[in-house]
A and B are shown apart, each in its own frame.
Chain A
């Protein structure tokens, strides 16, 4: 496929790898924020291509993984209500909440439907006027505008049975929180490509400026990631910290202003809870007061029950970049993709699932 296979040509990787080796003279730890990057790095064995001076650490960029149990429990409780159809992206179904999952709620008679898009959720609402359709809104700035667009569409059509449970999260505030905690020591940030396609590379300026950490936005093909790592290594070698783009075909400094406007028209920043990190001010999105009638939290009575954490699961530490999956005593022994204990083993872009499928020998 054009624009995909071209960025997977292994013969082109060699020049990039050579360049990285030449530039990576100093020890440096880079964080790939995005779970999508973690998967490509593991799957293509990119770590093994890097010189020993460089370490790559996975970050919190997996929306399914960072959704905390209290919020998962809300989605599950909604799925148990009569006359409610819960519409969710497929990745969420098997994620265990405190004592159940959307999948278990479905097996117990709840009406849970997998959708690929909010467009499908709107179709469900149109086709089932006697029921309420609740879309489980998870995702970062990449997804936020698509959910906002669905709310505008519902408002325009006068759909009165469409709701959103907004568990959306914002990336720059959580990176700031991670850096402020002082727990991770980074010399470079591999910035998420499709989040940046929306918010623009400029959104990372403050990290380069205030924290002195080089930031390079990366695409999702192996060559994109190698180019990004090379650009970071060059900045480290030169003692610089600035924002650059290694994914110029998809990302601009300003981002997609139309998408940002639509997202800001419907949502406003709000506190959000992140698994393993806790509540972070301004790191989530909630529906603005004028769109309250679409807010599932305000329009349904439901009881998510008490929040119980998964015993022994290190997802929280892994999402903060302070532990790796093989350091979890449950990894592979108790916790597997078939029998996942925590969300990092369920999500296709969770670190634990990536390590499980693509080997743990390169555990950093």
Chain B
């Protein structure tokens, strides 16, 4: 129910955006995220962007994970 997927905004017209994920393009309402810009990733839930994805945070988290996976544990 609370499923939301990251999609990229391709274009914006008024409060409606064309968004793309995995090669599929669809429409999304930006009423809940009026500050979203073309190129942003947003979390799409039930036809509405409910938040803008912070890509810098995504990269930092992934960097942290790869650091952790490289640390060899002294057993």
The A58-75 residues at the B interface (CB cut-off 8 A) are: 61-64
Contact B65 A118 (CB under 8 A): no
Contact B50 A145 (CB under 8 A): yes
Interface centre among A34, A63, A250 (most CB of B within 10 A): A250
Interface centre among B45, B55, B67 (most CB of A within 10 A): B45
Binary contact readout A252-281 vs B (1 if CB under 8 angstroms, 0 otherwise)? 100010110010000000000000000000
Q: Which residue of A lies closest to B65 (CB)?
A: A12
Binary contact readout B19-44 vs A (1 if CB under 8 angstroms, 0 otherwise)? 00110000101011110000001010
The A316-340 residues at the B interface (CB cut-off 8 A) are: none
Binds B, one of A97-105, A135-143, A352-360: A135-143
Contact A15 B32 (CB under 8 A): no
Contacts of B54 in A (CB 8 A): 248-250, 252
Contact A118 B1 (CB under 8 A): no
- Check A127 for interface membership: any CB of B closer than 8 A: no
Contacts of B3 in A (CB 8 A): 36, 194, 220
Contacts of A63 in B (CB 8 A): 1-2
Pick from B29, B43, B55: contact of A119, CB under 8 Å: B29
- Check B12 for interface membership: any CB of A closer than 8 A: no
Q: Which residue of B lies closest to A247 (CB)?
A: B61
Contact B61 A35 (CB under 8 A): no
Contact A16 B31 (CB under 8 A): no
Given the interface pairs A146-B48, A194-B2, the reply to whether A258 lies near B34 with Cβ below 8 Å is yes
A6–B63 CA distance with the chains assembled, in angstroms: 11
How many whole Å from A101's CB to the nearest CB in chain B? 17
B residues with a Cβ closer than 8 A to A are: 1-6, 8, 21-22, 27, 29, 31-34, 41, 43, 45-48, 50-51, 53-55, 57-58, 60-62, 65-71, 73
